[in-house]
Structure 1
Amino acid sequence: MSRLRLLSAAALFAVAANASATSFIVTTDAVVNALKATSDATTNVISSSFKDDKIVLAARDDAASFVATEGNIRGVKLESALDHIRHKAPQLNASDAQLAQAILTI
């Protein structure tokens, strides 16, 4: 009888662990997809609106440094471009990192 209980407990544990892992994967996928959609929307707005903007184009090297150092290096041209973008497109609710990555896609 104790062997049956042990097998039942093991089976129940396996099912619960699988359900937790599946739930974690689904939740993670949803969060990642939402962040990707936000990033894609920001990139599309920046790319289409500012592809010929001299201030934004001049900030590409600074944006690359910013992204590569995870925000530790903030060049003057990047700061100017971020201010310029936020002034021209106030509807964007993007972080500095998202805007810097969008600048790199232009």
Structure 2
Amino acid sequence: MSRYHLFGAALLLSLAGAANATSFVVTTDAVVGAVAASTDATSDISSSFRDDKIVQAARDDAASFVGSEGAIRGAKLESAFVHIRQQLPALQASDAQLARAILAL
């Protein structure tokens, strides 16, 4: 092999390694961002609603919701979702995240 071929192969391998590292960093950042958003939602809810009667009354419904992967939606849980979203309008959390946060209280 000529020196140019070896140099070209080395260059391609280094670029491929950099691309894989960049891909890994982007994927890791996306996963960490999603976990951080979920954690932020949980901490916002738990600090604000620990003693809230509407939210506390929805714990059993939240357990059913989480256990059934969203298939069972009780009236108390729906009421808690509305109450939480009225109290924290900037909160961007899914119903599943809210139900898990209610269980974490």
In the superposition, the TM-score normalised over structure 2's length comes to: 0.78
Q: Give the structure 1 partner of residue 43 of structure 2.
A: 44
| Residues 56-65 or 46-55, more deviating | 56-65
How many angstroms apart in 2 are the aligned matches of 1:99 and 1:65? 13
Q: Give the structure 2 partner of residue 33 of structure 1.
A: 32
Shift of 1:10: 7.4
Q: Percent identity?
A: 57
What SS does the corresponding residue of 1:93 show, helix, strand or coil?
A: coil
The superposition leaves residues 36-73 of structure 1 with CA deviations (integer Å, 9 ceiling, x where unpaired) of 12111111111111000111111112212222322222
| Residues 48-57 or 69-78, more deviating | 69-78
Q: Note closer, same or farther for the CA distance 1:13–1:73 as it changes in structure 2 (3 Å cut).
A: farther
Which consecutive aligned stretches of 4+ in structure 1 deviate over 4 angstroms post-superposition? 7-17
Q: Note closer, same or farther for the CA distance 1:73–1:15 as it changes in structure 2 (3 Å cut).
A: farther
Q: Note closer, same or farther for the CA distance 1:29–1:82 as it changes in structure 2 (3 Å cut).
A: same
User: What RMSD over aligned residues (CA atoms) do the two structures have, in Å?
Assistant: 2.3
Q: Note closer, same or farther for the CA distance 1:94–1:8 as it changes in structure 2 (3 Å cut).
A: same
Say how many residue pairs are matched.
105
Q: Note closer, same or farther for the CA distance 1:29–1:62 as it changes in structure 2 (3 Å cut).
A: same
Structure 2 residues not aligned, in runs of 5+: none
Q: Note closer, same or farther for the CA distance 1:17–1:61 as it changes in structure 2 (3 Å cut).
A: farther
In the superposition, the TM-score normalised over structure 1's length comes to: 0.77
Structure 1 residues not aligned, in runs of 5+: none
How many angstroms apart in 2 are the aligned matches of 1:100 and 1:25? 31
Letter in 2 for 1:51: R
Q: Note closer, same or farther for the CA distance 1:84–1:33 as it changes in structure 2 (3 Å cut).
A: same
